[in-house]
Every structure is written in structure tokens, then in C-alpha cells.
Amino acid sequence: MFKILEANELATNIFQMIVEAPRVAQACLPGQFLIIRVDAEGERIPLTICDYDREKGTVEIVVQAIGAETYALKNLKAGDSLADVVGPLGKPSDLCEESIDDLKKKKIVFIAGGVGTAPVYPQAKWLKEHGVDCDVIIGAKTKDLVILEDRFKKVCNLHITTDDGSYGRSGMVTKALQDLWDEGNKYDHCVAIGPMIMMKFVCKLTQELGIHTIVSMNPIMVDGTGMCGACRLTVGGEVKFACVDGPEFDGHKVDFDQAMNRMKLYKTEEGRLLLREQEGKTHHGGCGNCH
């Protein structure tokens, strides 16, 4: 059992938990994710890591309640426990593999949409701890849905934009990025994490601007081990699975239209059967031979 030390609501249906998981905290890096289960009968939920504290042995998650299992998670309080916390899973951010000297030469921007703000935070924090400056654009529909603002201000140059103009800049994250570019911020590297449609249009813009772009495909993960076939996608003409090959990929090589259409099919039993028939041995990522 994994004890919940803190549980707080950040915005409507968006909540944060700090969980006691010493072995996970010791091993995780920005960009990786966890699989949790609320109880022994619960479904597996893949969640990216929002933060971690190696000394205290804790990991932090941010969850949006959208289904039965996440609503059950939302109802837990400090002092309750989770049945399972498995991780870290997935590959760490590419930034963690570059030399600090090389990172300091780059102008880096993160673009976060909605709950995608949470997995951006540990990367920006990691850069700050290593003396690397970065910009972060947080996009939300309204001011009430902006999360982690105070924490971001401590680790980056923060720019907030809201669809309705109720806070910060007005408009989509792509408009904010274009405006910052026009204002003289010539970025070399972009990391975009958020809804699929947001990442698609960010990549379209960054390709025009010539900015190398990484995206996180965690929104399409279900099982988290490659066995269910949910997070199958095409990257640069090759079949990949977000949970075992990612979750981060070169955004300019991701076939977003295929991934989004596939997500719609995967939601129904008939759609899953059709995908399994069409994709054959490449339907699953864990072994490639499941039927």
C-alpha cells in the first residue's frame, strides 16, 4: 500500500496528490510516468510524474477526473492509500541526456495545455536546478483552470494565455508562441505537452518556424506496458508505442491525424477488433504476437 500524504484540488476536477513511494522517487526522472491502482479491483491508470522528492521518498501526481476510476481517485484523502504505484516507466526527457553546456546554449520553450501543465513542471524545474533558463507557455480555457502558476514562476520565465482572455495573454498557445517569436524570442527547442489537437497545431507552427519539437504522447496511453495496443502510433513512418518507446517523440514525425482517428476507434469493442484485424502483429507493443 502507498500512503497519500497530501491531496488537494487545484481546479475544477483537477487534483494533486503527494504519495509515499521511496523506491520510485529514487529512480524517476522528468518525462517518465507511473501506473497506479486505487484498489485491488481497480483499473490501471497511467499518470505522468509532476514532481518527486528523493529525500522524502515521495512522488507527486496531478489528475483530471474524467472517468469512474479517476473519480474514485479524486475522492481519496490524505491518510488513505493506493493499492499500487508502479514506476518509473517510459523513457526520461531527452533533455536529461544532453550535456548541461549544450543545453545552456539553447533557447528552450515549453508549451503546456490543460493537465499537460503537470508533466512540464519537473522538466522546467530540472533545468533550473542545472542552471538552464527556459520559457514556459501555459494555455487554459479560463483563468480558473490555470494550475501550478506560483511554482512555475520560481523555475522559468512564465507566459500564461487563456482562450477567453480572462488572464494573461489572449488566445491559443500557438498565438502566444508566434507573438513571443515575433517579439524576438528565437527558440531552438520546444517541448509541447497537452491535448492531441493542441500538440498537432503547435508542431505545425514550429515546423514553419524551424524549431525542433518534442511532444509527449501520454494522452493515448491506457495499459502502460504495450500489451493493450491503445497507444500505437506512427512516427517517421515507423510503428511505435507511447508507453514503451516514449512517451516523448519528435513532434514533426508524429502522424497526429492517424493517432487521433485511432483513438476514436479504440473506444469501442468493435473498433478495437477492427484495429487488431488491420494491424496484425503490430497491434500490440509488448510482444508483437498477442492475439
What is the tens place of the pLDDT at every residue in 170-210?
Answer: 999 999 999 999 999 999 999 999 999 999 999 999 999 99
Q: What does the pLDDT average to over 30-53?
A: 89
pLDDT of res. 225: 65
On the question of pLDDT at 278 being above 50, the answer is yes
105 and 209 part of one domain: yes
Query: Over the stretch 140-168, which tens digit does the pLDDT of each residue have?
Result: 999 999 999 999 999 999 999 999 998 99
Measure CA of the first residue to CA of the last residue in the chain; give whole Å.
33
pLDDT band at 288 (very low <50, low <70, confident <90, very high): very low
CA 101 vs CA 44, 97, 131, 132: distances in Å? 39, 12, 10, 9
On the question of pLDDT at 286 being above 80, the answer is no
Of 52-56, 260-264, 273-277, give the lowest mean pLDDT range.
273-277
**Nearest of 108, 205, 216, 89 to residue 155 by alpha carbon:** 108
Q: Provide CB contacts within 8 A for 221, sequence distance 6+.
A: 33, 46, 230, 231, 242, 243, 247
Q: In this structure, are residues 126 and 96 in contact, taking their beta carbons and an 8 Å threshold?
A: yes
pLDDT of res. 39: 86
Is residue 285 in a domain? Answer: yes
**Separation between Cα atoms, residue 28 and residue 8, nearest integer Å:** 23
**Separation between Cα atoms, residue 284 and residue 123, nearest integer Å:** 29
Last residue of one domain, picked from the residues 43, 59, 87: 87
pLDDT band at 289 (very low <50, low <70, confident <90, very high): very low
pLDDT of res. 4: 94
Last residue of one domain, picked from the residues 193, 216, 239: 216
**Nearest of 214, 215, 132, 137 to residue 178 by alpha carbon:** 137
pLDDT band at 124 (very low <50, low <70, confident <90, very high): very high
Query: Over the stretch 195-248, which tens digit does the pLDDT of each residue have?
Result: 999 999 999 999 999 999 999 988 767 666 666 667 778 899 888 888 888 889
119 and 176 part of one domain: yes
**Nearest of 229, 173, 168 to residue 200 by alpha carbon:** 173
pLDDT of res. 42: 79
**Separation between Cα atoms, residue 288 and residue 110, nearest integer Å:** 34
Dihedral angle computed from the Cα positions of residues 187, 193, 194 and 195, in that order, rounded to the nearest 10 degrees = 90
pLDDT of res. 93: 93
* Three-state secondary structure call for residue 50: coil
Domain containing 267: what range? 219-291
pLDDT of res. 40: 83
Is residue 106 in a domain? Answer: yes
Tell me the CATH number at 11.
2.40.30.10
Is residue 95 in a domain? Answer: no
Of residues 256 and 130, more confidently modeled:
130
Q: In this structure, are residues 254 and 233 in contact, taking their beta carbons and an 8 Å threshold?
A: yes
Q: Omega before 92 cis (within 30°)? A: no
The model's pTM: 0.88
pLDDT band at 72 (very low <50, low <70, confident <90, very high): confident
pLDDT band at 23 (very low <50, low <70, confident <90, very high): very high
59 and 110 part of one domain: no
On the question of pLDDT at 270 being above 90, the answer is no
pLDDT of res. 185: 95
- Please classify residue 237 by burial: count the beta carbons closer than 10 Å to its beta carbon, then call 0-12 exposed, 13-18 middle and 19+ buried: exposed
Last residue of one domain, picked from the residues 181, 216, 251: 216
* Number of domains observed in the structure of the chain: 3
**Average pLDDT along the chain:** 87
